[in-house]
Amino acid sequence: ANLFSKARESIKNKLKTIETGEERQIAEGLVKASDVRREYCLGRVALEEARILDRQGDHLASSKRYDQATESFQKVIDSMEREPEKKELLPIIYLCQAWERMMMAEARVSPTLYDEAAELFLKAEKHALDQPTSFLVQAHSSFCKALEAGVRFERTLDTTMYSTAKRHIVAATNHYLRAGYQTFSDYATATNRLIDAYMYIYRAQSDTDPAQKARSYQMAERLLQASAGTFIKAKHPEKSEEVRR
């Protein structure tokens, strides 16, 4: 991005000495092109930083970086004149918007925001350029719906929310595998085990028989350990530490 900024300034300085209309038009076009490329680079940098922050567990900062990526890519698409180029970049904008909502949902543990993220992923799916991307975005949407239901179950202990979460997480896992994303599938599996652990904790708290209560807590502990291990496999050590706490 800095190289494009330097190139832009160099061309602008030369513009002051250009006298012919044709040369000036070419130079102005180069300035515009360097601006667009710089903005695209800023968007890509923000996108990668958002992903890194997510893996580090800083979801609020990740959300902000996804928002910045959206702004940069929107500036790029606004400068485009050819529809094929716009069509190629549009899914990235929708995905950044969806991830921004999802990261904010993670930061606030908000079922409402998870629902908003799920809808944005569905919007992105409509603009997917190929089938694997379509499967991936559908998986993200289902996963957000699972997280929404999971949070509601944790707060209300409504077992219908548990069933809803399980249904969506199975759908997400299957779509991730169909899209060819094993790591995302592992993350969904880890979350699935975590939700199951919450159910066993709920059962333990409800059990009146001491032996059954002990078995439920033991099963919850096994599932928590399995969940933590699978989060490591999914390359999310911060989630593993969170579960172990």
**CATH number of the domain encompassing residue 43:** 1.20.58
Q: Is residue 118 part of a domain?
A: no
Q: Is residue 241 part of a domain?
A: no
Structure tokens at 72: 């940069």
How far apart CA 240 and CA 232 sit, in angstroms, is 6
Q: How many residues does the chain have?
A: 245
Q: How many domains does the chain have?
A: 1
Please report, in tens digits, the pLDDT of each residue of the chain (245 residues total).
Answer: 454 455 445 434 444 454 454 444 443 444 455 677 888 889 999 999 999 999 899 999 999 999 999 999 999 998 887 888 788 889 999 999 999 999 999 999 999 999 999 999 999 999 898 999 999 999 999 999 999 999 999 999 999 999 999 999 999 999 999 999 999 999 999 999 999 999 999 999 999 999 999 999 999 999 999 999 999 999 999 899 999 98
pLDDT of residue 105: 98
Residue span of the structural domain in which 8 resides = 1-108
Mean confidence (pLDDT) of the chain: 87
Q: Is residue 55 part of a domain?
A: yes
